[in-house]
Amino acid sequence: MSLTAFITGATSGIGKATAELFAKNNIRLVLCGRRKERLEALQRELGKLTDVTTLQFDVRTKEHVFTAIESLPENFSRIDILVNNAGNAHGLSTIQDGDTDDWDAMLDINVKGLLYVSKAIIPKMIERNSGFIVNIGSVAGKEVYPNGNVYCASKHAVNALNKSMRIDLNKYNIRVAAIHPGAVETEFSDVRFKGDSEKAKSMYLGYKALQAEDIADIIHFVVTRPYHVNIEDLIVYPTAQATATIINKN
């Protein structure tokens, strides 16, 4: 039987590339995000390759997360792979200059949203004694850089939750893995810099950043190992990047 994957943040970047690669590999898809037109377009396109259903919800809104997931049709209710990917950085400033709405967004989306979605999906994995949860962290969850403060805190939380899930779900035969990318050229910087596309583009100039497809490829590799193999934690940089802040640009 084909596997079914539930991908949050499937409308863009890493989540979208993962959906596309999974579809090519005959993995059935539950695609989530807030932008309905993008979800519909993906369903039309990837529906030619595999079974696809979509759920439009904001991961911040607890009730919507649970209602949406409960509304899944019976043939999509068995989730084999959960990719906890939805998230973004909002702003880049010192702690003293930080915008509290940005802080709320990052903690509510990157941390609490991931928790709500996991809470809604895990019970059926426990019942079946199988499942795979892939948490998309960041190098920002492994180190802290100037002005990264709350985004770094949110991704350190993802790192901690990944480890916690591994421990708490261990006896239920559920695999848990985190992938921590460095710079990936997606809409990430557009969101971080609030639509300042020049500033966003400048983040990826002078070196070859990771592409969303590179991370999708790694996610696919991780979830297609034999069931007794769990790759627990991966940091993935572009070759030009040595740490969160050291990038060899020319």
Q: Say if CB 91 and CB 146 are below 8 A apart.
A: no
Angle at 175 between CA 173 and CA 179, to 5 degrees: 170
The pair phi, psi for residue 247, each rounded to 5°, is -130, 125
x/- string (CB under 6 A) for ligand NDP, residues 112-151?
A: -x----------------------x-x-------------
Q: Which of 188, 223, 238, 241 binds ligand NDP (CB under 6 A)?
A: 188
Write down the residue that tokens 């030619």 correspond to. Answer: 48
149 touching ligand 8X3, by CB under 6 A: no
Comparison of 86 and 120: residue with beta carbon closer to ligand 8X3: 86
In whole angstroms, how far apart are CA 241 and each of 149, 178, 204, 245, 249?
20, 19, 11, 8, 9
What values do phi and psi take at 143, rounded to 5?
-145, 170
237 is catalytic: no
Q: Contact between 223 and ligand 8X3 (CB under 6 A)?
A: no
Concatenate the DSSP letters of all residues of 207-236 into one string. Answer: S--EEHHHHHHHHHHHHTS-TT----EEEE
CB of 139 to ligand 8X3, least distance (A): 5
- Catalytic residue from among 151, 172, 204, 237: 151
Task: Write the DSSP string, 73-103.
Answer: -GGG---SEEEE----------TTT--HHHH
* C-beta of 59 vs 174, nearer to ligand NDP: 59
Among 14, 82, 139, 191, binds ligand 8X3 (CB under 6 A): 139
Q: Which of 54, 162, 186, 241 binds ligand NDP (CB under 6 A)?
A: 186
In the complex, least distance from residue 59 CB atom to ligand 8X3, rounded to whole angstroms: 17
Q: Considering only CA atoms, which of 92, 141, 107 is closest in space to residue 244?
A: 141
Among ligand NDP, ligand 8X3, none, residue 244 binds (CB under 5-8 Å by kind)? ligand 8X3
CB of 59 to ligand NDP, least distance (A): 4
Tokens 């991780």 locate to 222
Give the footprint of ligand NDP on this chain (CB under 6 A).
8-15, 33-35, 58-60, 85-88, 109, 113, 136, 138, 181, 183-184, 186-188, 191, 212
Q: Which residues are catalytic?
A: 151
